A and B are shown apart, each in its own frame.
Chain A
Amino acid sequence: QEHLVESGGGVVQPGRSLRLSCGASGFTFSSYGMHWVRQTPGKGLEWVAVLWYDGSHENYTDSVKGRFTISRDNSKNTLFLQMNSLRVEDTALYYCARSVAARANRGYFDLWGRGTLVTVSS
């Protein structure tokens, strides 16, 4: 069975950093582009970042550019999101999601995890 499991969330003060992980199982992780998506009660689902299957290309939503970095370790079937200079408005449930496309530029999201909660508060 194919699974994605997010971890690493928690409570952090504004300006600090946090690293999220997403473990993949049941499929060939290195063949798929991967995304991070976040969800807040007020803003619904917001796409955050994408990374191609081989880690060669990445893209971000404007509000996190320069602060967040998406990466992957295909040898460990794991996706990461390094979040620096966190803001109160980054508070959300963060999901990882699999793209059906290796290069992820025109692929829908066919597998999602259950999310990990990030709370940015002083």
Chain B
Amino acid sequence: DIQMTQSPSSLSASVGDRVTITCRASQGISNYLAWYQQKPGEGPKLLIYSASTLQSGVPSRFSGSESGTDFTLTISSLQPEDVAIYYCQKYNRGPFTFGPGTKVEIK
């Protein structure tokens, strides 16, 4: 099975900072990569699909990119409401594996 890794596992940044989270697939998954945001007490929320397509209603400060088996989620200007855990996920076929998550906090 394809494994998904993420880095860093956690980060602390100031409001307004640019934040980058990386996800790596152990094998090629084309662009079948989604990013989710999860806040405490809530189910995950879809942010990005097809590696770089922003889900409707998601603020434009969120963006995604890909380079081979490496994928990046960028928050261009971190806001207090962005405090959450962020997960990547492959969805080309089962198992639909998630990355271990990156916890984002405000410094």
Cβ-defined contact, B46 with A47, below 8 A: no
A86-122, CB < 8 A from B? 95, 97, 100, 105-115
Cβ-defined contact, B91 with A107, below 8 A: yes
Cβ of A51 to closest chain B Cβ, rounded Å: 12
The interface bits of chain B over 77-107 (1 if a CB of A lies within 8 angstroms of the residue's CB, else 0) are: 0000000000101011111111111000000
Kindly list 16 other residue pairs between chains A and B, CB separation below 8 angstroms, not including A45-B98, A114-B43.
A44-B87, A44-B99, A47-B94, A50-B94, A61-B94, A106-B32, A106-B91, A108-B46, A108-B49, A108-B91, A109-B34, A109-B36, A109-B46, A109-B91, A112-B44, A114-B42
A-B contact list, 9 entries, CB within 8 Å: A45-B87, A45-B101, A50-B94, A61-B94, A100-B49, A106-B93, A108-B32, A108-B49, A109-B44
